[in-house]
Structure 1
Amino acid sequence: MGRGPFPGPVPAYRRYMRDHDPRFPSSPGFWRSPLRGPRFTSVLGLVLLAGITVLFLTGLLSYAAYNPNLSPVNDQTPGKGLLGFYLFAWPTDPPWLYRLTQGVHVTLGLVLIPVLLAKLWSVVPRLFTLPPARSLAHALERISLLLLVGGALFEFVTGVLNVQLDYLFPGSFYPLHFYGAWVFFAAFVAHAVLKAPAAVRNVRRMRAGTEDARGGAEEDARGGAEGDARGGAEGDAEGDGLVSPRPGAPTVSRRGALWTVGGGSLLLLGTSAGRNFDGPLRATALLAPHGGPEPGTGPNGFQINKTAAYAGIDAAETGEDAWRLVVTGRTGTVRLGRADLLRLPLYGAALPIACVEGWSTSDQRWRGVRLRDLAALVGFDGDPPDVFVESLQRRGAFRHGALRANQVADPRSLLALYVNGAALSQDHGYPARIIVPAAPGVLNTKWVARMTFGDL
């Protein structure tokens, strides 16, 4: 076939076809949806700007709650360097603190999935824009965009897999999600600095009603393509590459598309948030592990993350005659059977359990020996030190854990022997487990075998 009316040499013709032939993704005519445009993208972008900022901050709090400075016990992020600049001693008050921060983190992450997918769909033409870089500034923007898209997909996918307890990715979730979050958020900040002013201008124009009544009606009927084209013509560079020069027939208005995205987010909220609450709301968590009604009945009938069988616990090791708790400190080592522990003063505390996957239990009534009293048995009569706790657990992460001195000193921090008036079940950590207010679930070590007070 000939080149038709196009004048000029063959290389120029090829470049022209690459950039304008609607058969190629690099051509604006390839992307025909009339929904795409700077205003649609701006609304989604501002929602993500607020939501992802909250996600990042609650993620940092979750990281701090693991006491990663108690190295090398809890620190699964070696070489974090300046990334741990803000770490602090995680408090024990209020006792529901981690339940709140991690519940917000996970639930908000799920709710933002439809918004994120819609945002990526709305800007996908820009990923194929040619030439790849028109200047150094443009090249940096494109690199930040690739890191932003890749980081967002990585963080949300690994987060959802962790919530569902499906560890399909290589390596440990803990460092992957941590380092990935910093890469993603750095790209997110760069992108927000570049794009937020234009996004705010676009939304202000929408709210101010700068379009006439006819334009507004046409926008509803055609998805707003003309309005965005006019907005781009007015000098907003945000419109470049988003508004199709040959839009297809609309199937939904832009308002309808935004309502669809919002409806998807509300659906995810309604089917996942309930696992962070008590009572009837828990039954609404249809899409979440550990959601729904309380599992089973009786004093031990509440959520379990890892069963004794999964953790490789041998029932013979936990029997009255076989099991001994080894406690080591300044004055040496003592060995205590369950009967010995029962002769010590016992105290009670009503505390929840909250896990990194975002689920939590209601307050359970625990009874056992105070951690600070165990520290006193091995020479720490005053302010107790940090403690290293080892479990009989053979499989899974966090077989061991460490608690800070402020957590050991709290009178509600227990080596629990009973829950809700009955002895612990095997799955809940029999013969003894740690329970600490506001601590992540994995630091409430089950099947405790050894406790070492002092320098870790």
Structure 2
Amino acid sequence: MSDQRLPTSPGFWRSPLRGPWFTSVLGLVLLAGITVLFVTGLVSYAAYNPGLSPVNDQTPGKGLLGFYLFTWPTRPYWLYRLTQGVHVTLGIALIPVLLAKLWSVVPRLFTLPPARSLAHALERISLLLLVGGGLFEFTTGVLNVQLDYVFPGSFYPLHFYGAWVFFAAFLVHAALKTPAALRNVRRIRQRPRPESDLRSPRPDPPTVSRRGALWLVGGGSLLLLATTAGRSFDGPLRRTALLAPHGGAEPGGGPGGFQINKTAAYAGIDPAETGDEAWRLVVTGRTGTVRLSRADLLRGPLHSSSLPIACVEGWSTSDQWWRGVRLRDLAALVGYDDPPDVLVESLQRHGAFRRAALRANQVRDPLSLLALYVNGEELTPDHGYPARVIVPAAPGVLNTKWVARLTFGDLR
């Protein structure tokens, strides 16, 4: 077998498209895009209020990586819808750029010798972590967006640790390569150093120019953007989200005809437990415990909020009209004029976040409700009947459905 037929030989890679300029343009796009992805990912982490451990965040051994950023605000009420929509939509739109970038540098993965010096060895290790981490993060992200939970373990810690490995390698790689990338983009005809030259020594005849290839990659990203971004908007644009979670259609019609992530059947809800005769809301606080039927709640002062639901998978509903009892009024029933944090427990038996905690600022917000109605009618079983939490700017999983117990001031 000829050396030219081995991937370790430069002559094995025949595409005339590979070269420093093509790779550098893609690298600079990823430099900007992945930075935004990492920042919005940290923002999403903060939105779960991970300081409320071990309820909201059970990531093992996170140490300094799990530093708590700040108490997540409740205003503007569409904040999480915006930040997570940007995170997921941008991540999907960058997939063609990432794949093109990896294709453009694949010859370097087979370069011999594997390491010419200690510095070169560190660079190669960072490159392997960068490629592996990037593929892992984008793959698990897309699977999570489409609700295909085929990966082992929980998505939350897997994506969390993967992000730190990937971004650490990304920072090392960016520090080493960004200056050269900027030079290559500014000086298209610059003759690169031999060790950085990705061009084939015996290229095949070109069928498309490098600029044409960039237009193809950019067109693929724009197509993904156009078929994903609509899920974060209301009105006709939602129907353009063909590749978004659950496609572009709304589930069913009527007042309850908006997005459902987990159905009552999936969560293991027993209808016998949610009937008016059986169900009671247990509220515990400083002055003891009270048990409230749905009729008791309906006799209290009811308030309304117009709020969306936005989930980590990137989908969001349009604003829905919720009506119910303010969380701060329920806190007052058990002795709190100034509400503390609250532990919310659900009747659900299957799935994550059967228990969720909310910060005091979320409890105090007048838009935060234990909702009994949506869009003028009782909650449907899939939307959390007999009662669910709805909180402005909170991730969807913290808007607990089928609520059974509220414990104020004690998150154990």
TM (normalized to structure 2)? 0.98
Tell me which of 144, 154, 167 is aligned to 2:136: 154
Cα distance in 1 for partners of 2:220, 2:194 equals 30
Which amino acid in the other structure matches residue 397 of structure 1?
A
Alignment of 1:91-106 (within 5 A): 91-106=73-88
Q: Which whole-Å deviations, capped at 9, do the CAs of 1:5-33 have from their partners, x for residues lacking one?
A: xxxxxxxxxxxx7xxx2111110000010
Alpha-carbon separation, structure 1, partners of 2:10 and 2:194: 17
How big is the shift at 1:86?
4.5
What is the letter of the counterpart of residue 256 of structure 2? Answer: N
Q: CA deviation at 1:105?
A: 0.2
Paired residues for 1:331-346 under 5 Å: 331-346=287-302
Letter in 1 for 2:34: I
* Whole-angstrom distance in 2 between the partners of 1:430 and 1:26: 62
Map 1:46-445 → 2, pairs under 5 A: 46-206=28-188, 211=189, 231-232=191-192, 235=193, 237-239=195-197, 242-381=198-337, 383-445=338-400
Cα distance in 1, alignment partners of residues 322 and 196 from structure 2: 57
Question: Match of 1:34?
Answer: 16
Query: Which residue identity is paired with 1:73?
Result: V
Unaligned runs of 5+ in 2: none
Tell me the alpha carbon deviations over residues 73-131 of structure 1, each in whole angstroms, 9 at most, x when there is no partner.
11121321211334210000000000000000000000000000000000000000000
Q: Distance in 1 between matches of 2:81 and 2:34?
A: 19
- Alignment partners' CA distance in 2, 1:442 and 1:152: 26
- Whether the 8 Å contact between 1:103 and 1:276 is mirrored in structure 2 is yes
What amino acid maps onto 1:250 in structure 2? Answer: P
**Matched-pair contact (CA < 8 Å) for 1:434–1:448:** yes
In 1: Cα distance, 2:161 partner to 2:46 partner: 14
Maintained 8 Å contact 2:130/2:170: yes
Paired with 1:133 and 1:153, the residues of 2 have a C-alpha distance of 23
Contact persistence 1:198–1:238 (CA under 8 A): no
Q: CA RMSD in A?
A: 1.2
Q: Which amino acid aligns with 1:289?
A: P
Q: Report the secondary structure of 1:311's partner residue.
A: coil
Compute the displacement of 1:346 (Å): 0.4
Q: Distance in 1 between matches of 2:246 and 2:124?
A: 41
Give percent identity, aligned residues only.
84
Give the Cα separation in 2 of the matches to 1:286 and 1:97.
24
Query: Is this contact kept in 2: 1:291–1:359, CA < 8 A?
Result: no
Larger Cα-atom Rg: 1
- What is the one-letter code of the residue matched to 1:357? E
Q: What SS class does the counterpart of residue 187 from structure 2 fall into? A: helix
Contact 1:385 / 1:454 at 8 angstroms: preserved in 2?
Answer: yes
Distance (whole Å) between structure 1 residues aligned to residue 312 and residue 254 of structure 2: 25
Residue 236 of structure 1 and its aligned partner are, at CA, apart by 7.3
- Structure 1 residue identity aligned to 2:369: L
State the distance in 2 between where 1:54 and 1:291 align.
25
Which deviations, in whole Å up to 9, do the C-alpha atoms of 1:22-77 show, x marking residues without a partner?
11111000001000000000000000000000000000000010111101111121
TM-score, normalising length from structure 1? 0.89
Could you tell me which amino acid in structure 2 is paired with residue 279 of structure 1? G
SS at match of 1:264: helix
Residue 310 of structure 1 and its aligned partner are, at CA, apart by 0.7
Q: Deviations over 1:169-202 (max 9, x none)?
A: 1000000000100000000000000000000001
| CA positional deviation for 1:416 | 0.2
Query: Which amino acid in 2 is paired with 1:159?
Result: G
Structure 1's 448 and 86: CA in aligned 2 closer, same or farther, altered over 3 A?
A: closer
In structure 2, distance between residues paired with 1:202 and 1:297: 55
Partner secondary structure for residue 334 of structure 1: strand
SS in 2 for 1:388: strand
CA contact (8 A) 1:389 1:448 kept: yes
CA contact (8 A) 2:391 2:399 kept: yes
Retained in 1: the 8 A contact 2:327–2:370? yes
